[in-house]
């Protein structure tokens, strides 16, 4: 039997289910991404709050992109050997991961991408089992 992977992903975490002839394994990969980067400096209610204390939007965006790249690279390293990959999740992360897989020449292994809401580990496992036992 070939290695099959299903993963539920958003910007905060990825739940990866690997199915092989030895059985199933679930791994959770947590992202270090801070969705709303904190602004440095004093509170406007307690003191000065000069514009130079606030990082520029493009600087914050670069930080977010860099953190996401590290997170996606960790996910890709974990699923690299899979023959079939099913990706699903609620937001943009699934498509961003798909693009990175394609850049890493792994796009041909993707068997599906679906939009779903938040799911428990049991629901994720059931969905992946159902998909790969068709």
pLDDT over 60 at 50, yes or no: no
Q: What is the mean pLDDT of the chain?
A: 86
Helix (H) or strand (E) holding 44: none
Total residues belonging to the chain: 134
Strand bridging mode 23-30 / 84-89: unpaired
pLDDT at 114 over 70: yes
- Give the model confidence (pLDDT) of 52-110 as tens digits: 555 556 777 788 788 899 999 999 999 999 999 999 999 999 999 999 999 999 999 99
Contact yes or no for 101/107 (Cβ under 8 A)? yes
Range 106-121 average pLDDT: 95
In percent, the amount of the chain with pLDDT more than 70 equals 82
For residues 55 and 39, is the Cβ–Cβ distance under 8 A? yes
């Amino acid at each position: 039997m070939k290695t099959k992977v299903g993963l539920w992903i958003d910007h905060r975490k990825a739940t990866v289910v690997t199915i092989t002839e030895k059985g199933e394994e679930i791994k959770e990969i947590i992202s270090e991404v801070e969705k709303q980067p904190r602004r440095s400096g004093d509170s406007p209610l307690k003191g000065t709050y000069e514009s130079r204390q606030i990082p520029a939007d493009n600087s914050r965006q670069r930080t977010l992109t860099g953190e996401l790249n590290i997170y996606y690279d960790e996910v890709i390293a974990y699923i690299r050997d899979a023959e079939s990959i099913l990706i699903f999740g609620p937001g943009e992360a699934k498509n961003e991961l798909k693009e990175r897989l394609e850049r890493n020449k792994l796009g041909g292994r993707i068997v599906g991408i679906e939009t779903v809401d938040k799911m428990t580990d049991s629901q994720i496992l059931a969905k992946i089992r159902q998909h790969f036992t068709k």
